[in-house]
């Protein structure tokens, strides 16, 4: 696992965007796995700026997002479809039929999970997967206890996740109880993984990822089984991550 420590949100956004652009430069076409949440927002902004400066094109890129809430229409401002269009896709040159998210309003949600997996395989599999991490160590919406063998599936969201995401909704009751997410095994099939970690509230999850036992209770620890993971972490998160059994060097 390659760890890069950066200063602040801007440092993280620049480092991550450069990493993604370098990756895209090496190929004629690429399949990106994308994430939502607040952490990658700056990275998308930076990629848009680089695109506008002519430094990167997404015309030959296919994208697959990790997850989507069940029950929210694509036009709902809290859906991840809306997030991705508003914050990224509508500002770049990726063709409409080349970006994909699971359909949270599909009539048959189980069938949708299979279809999504199939589409990823047919497109050649994910080359680079961008990830964030939940305070409880979730990746995608794979909550603690999710099997490391899981494929794209429907999950019941943890109360802690609903509370963490309530900031985007009018009230916690509006936060959906379920989501579709790529599974841990689906995520680990990506050739390369880029994980972004920002803020002191992620310190504990980061500590588990770096030093804890690999276990299903902390989904992100599955990443230690992958041969090519890069973690870009801001100093706040890094300083908040305790080494188990040792005093925190930074006094947190
Ligand atoms: O970047 P944030 O907003 O802290 O979210 C962390 C993680 O939580 C999720 O938004 C799901 O709750 C993931 O998609 C994301 O990686």
Q: Which pLDDT belongs to residue 250?
A: 55
Average pLDDT over residues 66-92: 97
Q: Which pLDDT belongs to residue 27?
A: 86
Check pocket membership of 134 for ligand 1, CB cut-off 6 A. yes
- 2-6 and 229-234 beta bridge pairing: parallel
pTM: 0.95
What rounded mean pLDDT belongs to the chain? 95
Q: Are 183 and 152 in contact (CB under 8 A)?
A: yes
114 is catalytic: no
User: How big, in percent rounded to 5, are the helix, strand and coil portions of the chain?
Assistant: 40, 20, 40
Q: 207: closest CA among 216, 220, 195?
A: 220
pLDDT (tens digit per residue) in 155-191? 999 898 899 899 999 999 999 999 999 999 999 999 9
Q: Which residues pair with 196 in a beta bridge?
A: 232
Return the CATH number of the domain spanning residue range 2-179+190-231: 3.40.50.1360
Atom of ligand 1 nearest to the CA of 141: 11
Q: What CA–CA distance (Å, rounded) separates 249 from 247?
A: 6
Check pocket membership of 161 for ligand 1, CB cut-off 6 A. yes
Q: Compute the C-alpha angle 192/104/51, nearest 5°.
A: 45
Q: What CA–CA distance (Å, rounded) separates 67 from 57?
A: 24
62 is catalytic: no
Q: 20: closest CA among 197, 210, 230?
A: 230
Atom of ligand 1 nearest to the CA of 157: 12
Q: Which pLDDT belongs to residue 28?
A: 78
Q: Give the active site residue among 15, 127, 136, 204.
A: 136
Average pLDDT over residues 186-199: 98
Atom of ligand 1 nearest to the CA of 35: 14
Q: Are 207 and 171 in contact (CB under 8 A)?
A: no
């Amino acid at each position: 696992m390659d760890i890069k420590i950066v200063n602040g949100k801007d440092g993280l956004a620049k480092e991550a965007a450069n990493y993604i652009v370098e990756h895209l430069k090496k190929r004629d076409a690429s399949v990106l796995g994308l994430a939502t949440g607040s952490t990658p927002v700056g990275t998308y902004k930076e990629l848009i700026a680089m695109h506008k400066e002519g430094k990167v094109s997404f015309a030959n890129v296919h994208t697959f997002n990790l997850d989507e809430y069940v029950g929210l229409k694509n036009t709902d401002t809290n859906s991840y479809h809306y997030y991705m269009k508003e914050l990224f896709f509508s500002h770049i040159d990726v063709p409409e039929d080349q970006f994909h998210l699971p359909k949270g309003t599909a009539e048959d949600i189980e069938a949708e999970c299979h279809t999504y997996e199939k589409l990823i395989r047919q497109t050649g599999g994910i080359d680079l997967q961008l990830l964030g991490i939940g305070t409880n160590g979730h990746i995608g919406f794979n909550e603690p206890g999710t099997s490391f063998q899981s494929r794209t599936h429907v999950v019941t969201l943890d109360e802690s996740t609903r509370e963490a995401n309530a900031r985007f909704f009018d009230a916690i009751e509006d936060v959906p109880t379920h989501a579709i997410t790529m599974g841990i095994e689906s995520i680990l099939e990506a050739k390369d993984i880029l994980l972004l970690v920002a803020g002191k509230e992620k310190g504990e999850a980061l500590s588990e990822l770096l030093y804890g036992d690999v276990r299903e209770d902390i989904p992100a620890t599955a990443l230690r089984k992958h041969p090519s993971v890069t973690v870009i972490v801001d100093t706040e998160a890094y300083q908040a991550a305790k080494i188990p059994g040792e005093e925190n060097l930074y006094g947190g």
